[in-house]
Amino acid sequence: MGYSNIVILTGAGISAESGLGTFRDKDGLWTKYDLEDVATPEGYARNPDFVHEFYNARRANLRDAEPNAAHHALAALEDQIDGRVVVVTQNIDNLHELAGTRTLIHMHGELFKTRCENCQAVYAWTEDLSRGTPCRSCRLPGGLRPHVVWFGEMPLQMGEIHAALDDCDLFLSIGTSGNVYPAAGFVEEVRRKGQAHTVELNLDPSEGANLFAEHIHGPASEVVPAYVRRLLDD
């Protein structure tokens, strides 16, 4: 195989076995919450306390979570392969970095960061947030929100992502249902260039499964380490 430029898109499925819920599966977050209420700027403007409560609960879950074998396998791939590996994650958890992945793009932001809407400062934040929490930078209360991308907002680092997709010879999509754009469109972007092999690794076939050249179905903690071993052995 001999791939030297690998882009890996990950979604909630890679963190499911670390105890973090997915969005659209049975019992997923979007079966319990209306995403319009907790993941849009309009929902936040309507009821900031409710939105803070939602993300406070998710921060509490994340404080107890650990990377699983799939996160560790991707970090080992980056360490051991003779080439470049870029992980683009839609996840706002920090499990890739805890596993040791270094080249990582958090296109939907980071749960353990906050952003001040008054002064635009962005910094680490692992505790609860509320409307009364003062910003560490400008000292004003009321401006701190989760540093996450909501529906209707622009995903982060898109220029870097397109550049990585342009150059890649292998594109992997792991644990994502392929429902949310622009991430869901990356496989087509790669296929248009025609130079990369495309593989979906997911529990079940995703919405866009037919767009991939190869499919591997099963739990991420099993199929990802096995696939990484294949890549490193070749």
Name the site residues for ligand OAD (rule: CB under 6 A).
Answer: 11-13, 16-17, 22-25, 28, 35, 39, 90, 108, 149, 151, 175-177, 179-180, 202-204, 206, 219-220
Nearer to ligand OAD among residue 78 and residue 93 (C-beta): 93
Report the distance separating Cα 231 and Cα 170, nearest Å: 11
Least gap, CB of 61 to ligand OAD (angstroms): 15
Q: What is the helix (H) or strand (E) element at residue 84, kind and residue range?
A: strand 84-89
Least gap, CB of 99 to ligand OAD (angstroms): 15
Nearer to ligand OAD among residue 98 and residue 203 (C-beta): 203
Chain centre to alpha carbon of residue 43? 22
Q: Is 108 a catalytic residue?
A: yes
Of 71, 72, 108, 147, catalytic: 108
**Amino acid (one-letter) located at 203:** L
What is the C-alpha R_g of the chain?
18
The CA-atom distances, in angstroms, between 157 and each of 13, 117, 148, 160, 180 are 22, 19, 13, 5, 16
Least gap, CB of 132 to ligand OAD (angstroms): 25
8 A C-beta contact, residue 5 and residue 171: no
Least gap, CB of 192 to ligand OAD (angstroms): 22
Nearer to ligand OAD among residue 94 and residue 176 (C-beta): 176
185 Cβ partners below 8 Å, 6+ apart?
none
> Using alpha carbons only, what angle is made at residue 144 by residues 139 and 145, rounded to the nearest 5 degrees?
170
Give residue number: closest CB to ligand OAD: 13
Nearer to ligand OAD among residue 177 and residue 198 (C-beta): 177
Cite the active site residues: 108
